[in-house]
Amino acid sequence: MAGRFRRLLFGERSGAKTPKGSGRMATDPVCGMDVDEDRAAATSEYGGKTYYFCAVGCKKAFDKDPERYLNEATSMHRSEH
């Protein structure tokens, strides 16, 4: 209860900085975070589209198996084998 509240506060804090300007936001397909296209830690092109990542680790995971993350994002269904 209390822990959950704290987590919410922390999450808002880290995302509170809203950069002014026309920074477009993209969604990191790996972790689902909103990523500012100008501030993305890494980008990757796949299927003629550019994807933005919050961290290099996310890009690496995406490059390994792009389909997996793209399918997951649309179906919101997660199944591990």
Instruction: Enumerate binding residues for Zn ion (CB under 5 A).
Output: 28, 30-31, 33, 54, 58
Q: Are 55 and 42 in contact (CB under 8 A)?
A: yes
Instruction: State which residue, 1 or 45, has the beta carbon closest to Zn ion.
Output: 45
Task: Quickly tell me which residue has 């209390």 as its tokens.
Answer: 2
CB 33 to Zn ion: min, Å: 5
* Angle of the 56-64 helix axis to the 66-75 helix axis, nearest 10: 100
Instruction: State which residue, 19 or 32, has the beta carbon closest to Zn ion.
Output: 32
Instruction: State which residue, 2 or 35, has the beta carbon closest to Zn ion.
Output: 35
Amino acid, single-letter form, for residue 68:
R
